[in-house]
Structure 1
Amino acid sequence: MNSLKLYTVITAIFWIVVLYTALVVVNKSYANEVVPYKHVVAVGALYTIYYCFNVLFLYWGLSKKWLFRIIAGLGFFILFCTLFPFMYYIIQEVMPRLDLQLFSDDVPYDKVYFQRRLISAYAFVLISALLTVSIALFIYRRRIYKLQISELIKLQEKLVSKDIKTHFLKNLLSTNFGIILLQSKPEQKKNIQNTIGLLAYFMRIESETEYLVSIDDEVNELKRFIGLLKQYYGEMTVKLIGEYPKGSYLIPLGILLLPLENILKYAKISNNSPIHIAIQLRQNECLFTFKSMIDNYKVNSYKSSGTGIKNMNKIIEMLQLNIEINTHKENEIFVFNINLKHI
């Protein structure tokens, strides 16, 4: 049983207990004419049955599977369409046979009054179900948020206390954006998950040097990185175009994140100076091109040693991979190319 289902069930049980307690207390203490207990139980049972169905259909309505959503919609439609005939049959035909008559024989049947009472009762049931699912969903999301934040803090503390050996990763985490990754506590669920995923990938890069991963995994982490950059610098500050060859083509772990370390250290990043990332498929090769506007102040402040690129080239040479890395300037634009050959 997943957490949302568990919280929904617990909240529903709590509501049912409160309903029965309220009915009994009101009946004993405030009613002009005390209703027999079995009648209270019968009315409560009818409320509970409709309440449970409404909670179930609302829960299915939150499902990601369209089949459950369709069933939930049909369920609500059937409940509403059968409300009057079904409840009339139960209250007027079945309950009197069980000595649970709710209306006196000397009171004439008023169809309009009966329907109004049913509609008000059903509205109460529906509102109760909505509140139940809403409260359960709120508790579930807060619980998940706290668990994810706890996981994020542990990862951040590990990276802060760890003596990072990977050159480009050490430099990346020392940038303003890297510091944000190590200190921030995002509010949005997606940003929390992306930060956790990226920091976990950093841990892999640090511990699994000279390790190969599929191009799919590496591009997914690149996109995760880009998503967080957009959250920090602005939606229009990073532009990614092109498609990569999906499959099991293996590349060094972290190679597509290497250019971002240079960009964060030496580039201007703004809506007017966005990062351009282009993926070009050619015959038997795939070219990743990263372009960014050079920030001369940053260049003068942080002298580049080229160690990160040298280390990556050593890994490429050692693993005998057909990958080329080259960088050059085009006026005030820094260009970083990664060419994957023989794809």
Structure 2
Amino acid sequence: MKNARIRVLMHLIIAAFIFLWNYFLNYFYAQEEIPLLHIIAISSVYILFYLAISIFLEILFKNPNLIRAIVFLSYLIFAWNITWIIQEIIYSILPEIGIVLFNSNVPRNDTLFHYRIWDAFISLHIIALIYYVILRFVMYYLETKNLQKELAIKRERAEDMKYTSHFMKNIFSESFGQILLNNEPKDTRTKMDIIEFLGYILELEELGKKDSWGYSLDKLQCFIRLLRAHYGTESVVFNLINDGREINQLPRGLLLFPLENCLKHAYISPDYPINYKLIKENCTIEIECTSTTNHLKIKEKSGNGFLFLKEKINSSDYLHIMENTSNLKDYTLYLKLTPKYDAKTKIQYSSLG
């Protein structure tokens, strides 16, 4: 609603500018007095075309490629026929409501008329571009201000948490946690990801909660974007195979755990990337995360973390196989989740076999 008010206000300001421009232009340079009603009429035509152009610009910059292509094609048709459209307005539509902007006793000079149409059309494009640039600047400023406020609130809440989970203790003990709690990212995407991820960490404190596959996957991808922003674009290699089927809800934070555990034991950089493979097929989920071992971190124990994860899985509708192996070079965590109840036969599995 606030964005709509800003747009309306800017359109009103530009509409007033167009009217005043035409008024003073005719007042100082017209060879004969032009009725106010005529100035209002021609200004209204200008404003109408300015609004059309500005809407074209907003759609072109904000929508998917298919919509952009359709709108751009429509715009080309509109621009190609602009002289005919203006002629119809001036010579057919306006005279019907008693507004005649031409002298029927003087022969038409179509060349000059078309030149003036294109001159005004180009000027309206410039005004529409100025509107769009100012609008984006204002929106960016307001969005940044709101994001900073929301980020401050999330960070304050995160710093006051008890960190009951293994996951959160590890995250905030790493240098990576500094970008979540202290560093101020410059780009809006990273700032939004931090807000989203901190909000999810607050949700992780709610024990026993479950999330849909789509929601869990979205938070995992948010986590990966943050890791890449901090350690480098190639620092996390993510492979996803998704058959698109509906599955039972997952324990909250389940997809994040293997990646966080790899992070705990690993070097992580574009030269030593973490490889995270996620497969969802026939209602079964397989996760494999591999990283290059950090000799200083390999001595740390993960027993509490695995107990925490198993407790989460045991309260879910899944049976599991979980293995973790490590040596002087690599650390690998493998997790397989199979639903306790077959979706078709409704028969409970006694084991994974």
TM-score (norm. length: structure 1): 0.84
Q: Please give the per-residue CA displacement for 1:225-271, whole angstroms capped at 9, x wherever unaligned.
A: 11211121112111122424642223322223223333333310112
Root-mean-square deviation (CA, aligned residues, Å) is 3.2
Q: 2:308 aligns with which of 286, 306, 311?
A: 311
Alignment correspondent of 1:231: 229
Alignment partner of 1:142 is 2:108: no
TM-score (norm. length: structure 2): 0.82
Write the distance in 2 (CA, Å) between the matches of 1:41 and 1:253: 61
Alignment correspondent of 1:23: 22
> Equivalent residues in 2 for 1:1-343 (5 A)?
2-29=1-28, 34-62=33-61, 64=63, 69=68, 72-73=71-72, 75-91=74-90, 98=98, 100-102=100-102, 105=105, 108-206=107-205, 208-244=206-242, 246-280=245-279, 285-299=284-298, 303-304=300-301, 306-317=303-314, 321-342=318-339
The letter for the 2-side match of 1:295 is N
Write the distance in 1 (CA, Å) between the matches of 2:32 and 2:9: 34
The alpha carbon displacement at 1:190 in A equals: 2.9
The alpha carbon displacement at 1:74 in A equals: 5.2
Of 18-27 and 110-119, more deviation after overlay is shown by: 18-27
Helix, strand or coil for the counterpart of 1:163?
coil
Write the distance in 2 (CA, Å) between the matches of 1:324 and 1:7: 55
Of 163-172 and 53-62, more deviation after overlay is shown by: 53-62
Kindly tell me the number of residue pairs found equivalent between the two proteins: 338
The alpha carbon displacement at 1:89 in A equals: 4.8
* Structure 2 gap segments, 5+ residues each: 341-353
Change (3 A) 1:279 1:78: closer
More helix by percentage? 1
Write the distance in 1 (CA, Å) between the matches of 2:215 and 2:119: 55
| Higher RCO (C-alpha under 8 Å, 6+ residues apart) | 1
Write the distance in 2 (CA, Å) between the matches of 1:65 and 1:144: 22
Percent identity over paired residues:
24
Write the distance in 2 (CA, Å) between the matches of 1:75 and 1:256: 45
The letter for the 1-side match of 2:223 is F
Write the distance in 2 (CA, Å) between the matches of 1:210 and 1:180: 28
Alignment correspondent of 2:344: none
Change (3 A) 1:72 1:252: closer
The letter for the 2-side match of 1:334 is Y
Write the distance in 1 (CA, Å) between the matches of 2:235 and 2:138: 36
